[in-house]
Amino acid sequence: MPRESHPSDVSFSRQSEARQSILPLTRISSHPDDRSGFPTRAQFAEIIDDYLSSLNRRRASKALISSELYNTILYTLRNPRDVTVEDPQFRFWARKMFTLDDTGRELRHQQRPVAIKEDLYNILVQCHERCRHGGRDRTCSEIQHSHVPRNIVAAFVRQCPTCAYRRN
């Protein structure tokens, strides 16, 4: 039986709902994926950096799940007997915090899909748009993913030009 490749060899490309439903751009922006009426990706990168710098080093490494970390956790759960992955504490953490969905393709945390750091901008834009720029709490209630910190949602809403225009 062929052995599954190690996470560093896996090019697991996961298409999120957020990537599939990007609407056409209506303005010229600094990044081709920036959406009119929402914070830019550059502003969002600052939000992420500020959030991570506010955490201690140990927490910051697992606060947001990068695609690389996602793939490592996925591999760990699919191959529980492989002790070459990371260290015992990491494997324990992965087994304790995450499960696989019914297909074995997607990570779950508390029965919700895990948000990947690289997808957060699209997830927040989509959810903030669905709630019609309704603020932090309404945006949070629209988010169907886990690992989307409320502080990031709050900062995203504060940076939203549409919401700022409405506030003034």
Per domain, the residue ranges of the chain are 46-55+119-168, 66-114
How large is the greatest C-alpha to C-alpha distance in the chain, in angstroms?
A: 64
Residue 164: per-residue pLDDT: 81
* pLDDT score, position 32: 60
pLDDT at 2: 43
CA–CA gap between residue 18 and residue 5 (Å, rounded): 28
Q: Which of 154, 157, 162, 140 is nearest to 54 (CA)?
A: 154
Within its chain, how far is the Cα of 55 from the centroid? 17
120 — pLDDT class (breaks 50, 70, 90): very high
Question: For the segment 20-46, what is each residue's pLDDT rounded down to a tens digit?
Answer: 333 333 333 455 666 778 899 999 999
For 49-62, the pLDDT digits (tens) are 999 999 998 888 88
In 3D space, the residue among 58, 33, 55, 57 whose CA is nearest the CA of residue 44 turns out to be 33
Judged against a pLDDT cut of 70, whether residue 97 lies above it is answered with yes
The residue ranking higher by pLDDT, 133 or 9, is 133
